[in-house]
């Protein structure tokens, strides 16, 4: 009987084979997950897509990095017509497109956005981006312009209240985008100041829980929509009905499944901001 003799020369080949096997298994798992994901997002018989706005929340972070050109390319293919772009201030007062203040969430760097000058942030690559893309943190104005050039309306979510930079941002966007953009914020001061800079500006005021004060704020400020957290159980039908009664445009975030979106669609909400549902699902 012949016996197998182990040869050290075979070690590299065995390691390569093991790596290939692991990669193959991971690819199969991902493919199965994608199939399950799309099976869950069956077409809706309730929602009229022609009466609905689906805004991507920075881009589907599960597949491509948010707030990047890569995300815009992906959203364009999927048929999105609007995208929320997060705007944060660097130490030298430049607006960059990042959802989190801590750069370690989106890049291979560490620390807060406000601790860096913009050119310093360019030393860090975006996580999850293809190696060949060399994706870096982008200026909000450039990301917004790229979205606009791809027929996607930018909704610029301002995270930092600072008058001079806000004025500068609105000026740049107005010049580049022909007024085809929104300013959004959870800070009333930002909305109020943005409206003084450009009274005709369309704004979206974000709240977690709807209050009478929020409704009155939007009612008194023309062209300001109220965006509430659909996942907050305190946002009852009665509160949402108050928004409609005040003739205020509304939107919601936090509705991440088709079932949840259908629930709010039934009571009159038509604008949804999330990263889970694609326009094609509702066609």
pLDDT in tens, 196-214: 999 999 999 999 999 999 9
Average pLDDT, the chain: 87
| pLDDT beyond 80 at 282 | no
pLDDT in tens, 5-29: 555 555 665 566 665 665 555 555 4
Whole-angstrom distance, CA of residue 145 vs CA of residue 151: 10
Whole-angstrom distance, CA of residue 40 vs CA of residue 47: 16
Please answer whether residues 58 and 87 qualify as being in contact, where contact means their C-beta atoms are separated by less than 8 angstroms. no
More confident residue, 104 or 33: 104
Q: What is the per-residue pLDDT for 38? A: 43
Beta strands at 82-89 and 153-158: parallel, antiparallel or unpaired: parallel
Whole-angstrom distance, CA of residue 34 vs CA of residue 29: 9
- What does the block give as tokens for 129? 């981006």
Average pLDDT over residues 157-174: 98
CA 105 to chain centroid, in Å, comes to 14
Beta strands at 95-97 and 82-89: parallel, antiparallel or unpaired: antiparallel
What DSSP letter does each residue of 230-256 carry, written as one string?
A: TT-TT--HHHHHHHHHTT--EEEE---
Query: 212: burial class by Cβ within 10 Å (0-12, 13-18, 19+)?
Result: exposed
Whole-angstrom distance, CA of residue 208 vs CA of residue 102: 22
Give the model's confidence band at 123: pLDDT under 50 very low, under 70 low, under 90 confident, else very high.
very high
Counting every residue, how long is the chain?
283
Whole-angstrom distance, CA of residue 177 vs CA of residue 6: 67
- What does the block give as tokens for 99? 């959802």
Q: What is the per-residue pLDDT for 16? A: 62
Average pLDDT over residues 75-90: 95
Whole-angstrom distance, CA of residue 54 vs CA of residue 38: 17
Q: What is the per-residue pLDDT for 268? A: 95
φ, ψ dihedrals at 90, nearest 5°: -85, 175
**At the top level of CATH, which class does the domain 47-97+140-282 belong to?**
alpha beta
Please answer whether residues 170 and 177 qualify as being in contact, where contact means their C-beta atoms are separated by less than 8 angstroms. no
Give the model's confidence band at 277: pLDDT under 50 very low, under 70 low, under 90 confident, else very high.
confident
The one-character DSSP state at 136 is B
Please answer whether residues 154 and 83 qualify as being in contact, where contact means their C-beta atoms are separated by less than 8 angstroms. yes
Q: What is the per-residue pLDDT for 49? A: 87
Average pLDDT over residues 256-279: 92
Q: What is the per-residue pLDDT for 36? A: 45
pLDDT in tens, 15-64: 666 656 655 555 554 454 444 444 444 578 889 988 999 999 998 766 78
More confident residue, 265 or 23: 265
Give the model's confidence band at 127: pLDDT under 50 very low, under 70 low, under 90 confident, else very high.
confident
| pLDDT beyond 70 at 155 | yes
The one-character DSSP state at 127 is T
Beta strands at 82-89 and 202-207: parallel, antiparallel or unpaired: unpaired
Please answer whether residues 192 and 217 qualify as being in contact, where contact means their C-beta atoms are separated by less than 8 angstroms. no
pTM of the full structure: 0.84
Average pLDDT over residues 126-140: 83
Q: Is 227 helix (H, G, I), strand (E, B) or coil?
A: strand
The ranges assigned to domains in the chain are: 8-40, 47-97+140-282
């Amino acid at each position: 009987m012949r016996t197998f003799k182990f040869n050290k020369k075979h070690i590299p080949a065995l390691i390569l084979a093991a790596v290939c096997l692991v990669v193959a298994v991971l690819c199969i798992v991902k493919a199965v997950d994608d199939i399950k994901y799309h099976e869950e997002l069956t077409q809706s018989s309730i929602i009229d897509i022609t009466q609905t706005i689906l805004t991507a929340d920075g881009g589907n972070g599960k597949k491509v990095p948010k707030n990047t050109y890569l995300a815009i390319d992906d959203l364009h293919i999927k048929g999105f017509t609007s995208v929320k772009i997060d705007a944060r201030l660097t130490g030298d007062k430049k607006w960059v497109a990042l959802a989190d203040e801590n750069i370690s969430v989106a890049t291979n760097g560490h620390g807060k956005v406000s601790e860096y000058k913009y050119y310093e942030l360019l030393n860090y690559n975006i996580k999850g981006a293809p190696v060949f893309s060399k994706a870096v943190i982008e200026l909000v104005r450039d990301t917004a312009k790229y979205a606009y050039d791809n027929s996607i309306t930018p909704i610029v979510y301002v995270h930092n209240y600072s008058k001079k930079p806000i004025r500068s941002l609105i000026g740049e966007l107005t010049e580049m985008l022909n007024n085809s953009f929104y300013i959004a914020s959870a800070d009333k001061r930002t909305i109020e100041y943005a409206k003084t800079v450009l009274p005709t500006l369309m704004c979206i005021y974000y709240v977690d829980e709807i209050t009478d004060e929020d409704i009155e704020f939007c009612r008194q400020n023309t062209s300001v929509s109220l965006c509430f957290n659909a996942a907050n159980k305190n946002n009852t039908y009665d509160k949402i009905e108050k928004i409609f009664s005040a003739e205020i445009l509304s939107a919601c975030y936090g509705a991440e499944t088709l079932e949840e979106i259908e629930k709010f669609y039934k009571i009159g909400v038509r604008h949804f901001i999330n990263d889970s549902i694609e326009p094609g699902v509702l066609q």
